[in-house]
Amino acid sequence: MTVRIQVVDDLPAAATAAFLSAVRGAIARQGRCTVALSGGSTPRALYDRLRPDDLDWSKVVFFFGDERAVPLADSLSNFRMVWETLLRQVSATIHPLTHAASYEALLRAELGAGGAFDVMLLGMGDDGHTASLFPGSPVLSERQRWVVDAPGVAPAPRRFTVTAPVIQRAREVLVLVGGAGKAKVLQEVIEGPRGKYPSQLLHEAAGSVFWLVDTAASACLAAR
Ligand code: 6PG
């Protein structure tokens, strides 16, 4: 496992560079790249910057790391957000997440027994959640299933999410954290005792974890 934390002034620009580098690396090594997408406003700023000529998108297979249990066309849907910002412009393969058990079967078929995404995008909420693994959630301790129904918070109290082991198996995780509202929690997640916040499951990741943090969100970190 390798962990990097980088504080940047322009988070969308840094996230775009890191994402493109990770995807290009996977395509160069193995001819295709599986990517788990995240919802949230910070990842959205990355999707907004990606362009059709950035990559050979036909070699990219998109999945969702979590989704709100709403119709895909609903304004709360992560799929709809990523579709409108990125997916409708590119010729990638896209697998929307609409049902936990069938998505797990799809992931088992597409990712193989190792079950590792090449690149996984994640955000972190003000409460330390990541994907749709919220503090106190009963699915935080799930170790067998890959995708589960999960309680969320308003405005989307029902979600689907990949489980902690799936996140921990990903080869390259990019965690995008922006805004002053996350500074205190980020400090605890990175520097505090383990086991308090769902995002701390990333400390047990097998692959590489790259925290990209904007200046405001980094304000409470001792090591900046
Ligand atoms: C979602 C997410 C969620 C998100 C964080 C951070 O569906 O809401 O996938 O985990 O990434 O809440 O969101 P922001 O970047 O908007 O703070």
Q: What is the pLDDT of residues 110-158, one digit of tens each?
A: 999 899 999 999 999 999 999 999 999 999 999 999 999 999 999 999 9
| Chain centroid to CA 200 | 14
Q: What is the pLDDT of residues 44-70, one digit of tens each?
A: 999 999 999 999 999 999 999 999 999
Question: What pLDDT is stored for residue 224 in this prediction?
Answer: 63
One-letter amino acid at 29 equals R
Q: How many CB atoms neighbour CB 145 within 10 A? A: 15
Mutate to test the pocket of ligand 1, among 124, 126, 127, 167 (most ligand atoms within 8 A of CB): 124
- Alpha carbons within 13 angstroms on the beta-carbon side of residue 133 total 26
Q: What is the pLDDT of residues 155-168, one digit of tens each?
A: 999 999 999 999 99
The phi-psi region of residue 66 (left if phi > 0; otherwise alpha if psi is between -120 and 50; otherwise beta) is: beta
Beta carbons within 8 Å of 89's beta carbon, 6+ residues apart: 51, 52
| Distance in Å, CA 198 to ligand 1 centroid | 13
Question: What pLDDT is stored for residue 1 in this prediction?
Answer: 84
One-letter amino acid at 175 equals V
C-beta separation of 78 from 38 below 8 A: yes
Q: What is the pLDDT of residues 32-43, one digit of tens each?
A: 999 999 999 999
Mutate to test the pocket of ligand 1, among 42, 80, 214 (most ligand atoms within 8 A of CB): 42
pLDDT interval class at 25 (50, 70, 90)? very high
